[in-house]
Amino acid sequence: MRSARSAEILRLLARKEVEFIVVGMTAGVLRGAPVTTVDLDIVHRRSPENVARLLSALAELDAVYRHDPRKLRPKESHLVGPGHQLLTTIHGDLDCLGMIDQDRSYEDLLEQTTEMKLAEGLSVRVLSLGALIEIKERCGRPKDLAVVPLLRATLEELKREP
């Protein structure tokens, strides 16, 4: 079996010991929702040490801002802030989010996550389906609300599983 491209990004982040949480629809996919997404969203811990590790991983991934024709590279000053850094890498698009859901940081989200094993020796922290649904509902944009029934149905099916 070939490896998923987003899994390659996650593998590198894990190898570099970056502290992050997979959020957005990739979290939904990992939790079992049959949805599509074209980018990987993560919320990273914004401590100087972790940002340094993240920058090292991003350099290896050849990450640049995907909406900027100058192909600017993310810097420490970008990643320590609460903003959203929308990047493209050799393994696809990656969004490094300082905060989501108005003002929730890595530390705030931590209790609504669990570690998921992706492969032998590779575990990543993923937002729970319940938390993802709450966030999508609070966002309230049509694109967020559109996926809520599917995420809810997935949560119900998960609860039915033995």
Partner 1 sequence: MDPRPLYVSSRDSFAGTVREAHPGSSPGAPTRYAYAMRARRDDADQVPAEPDIDENGVDRAQIRAMLQLTPEERLLRVEEFIESIIEIRKLNEERPVR
Applying CB under 8 A, does 128 fall inside the site for partner 1? no
Applying CB under 8 A, does 120 fall inside the site for partner 1? no
Q: How far apart are CA 157 and CA 88, in angstroms?
A: 34
103/161 with CB nearer partner 1: 161
Backbone angles phi, psi at 82, to 5 degrees: -85, 0
Q: Tokens 């989010």 correspond to what residue? A: 97
Applying CB under 8 A, does 159 fall inside the site for partner 1? no
Q: Tokens 């590790």 correspond to what residue? A: 53
> Which residues, numbered 27-46, are part of the site for partner 1 (CB under 8 A)?
29-30, 32-38
Q: Burial level of 63, CB count in 10 A (0-12/13-18/19+)? A: buried
Applying CB under 8 A, does 105 fall inside the site for partner 1? no
124/135 with CB nearer partner 1: 124
Taking CB under 8 A as the criterion, the residue among 67, 117, 141, 143 binding partner 1 is: 117
| 96, 42 contact by CB (below 8 A) | yes
Instruction: Give the other-Cβ count within 10 Å of 42's Cβ.
Output: 25
Applying CB under 8 A, does 109 fall inside the site for partner 1? no
Binding footprint of partner 1 on the chain (CB under 8 A): 1-7, 26, 29-30, 32-38, 116-119, 149-150, 152-154, 157-158, 161
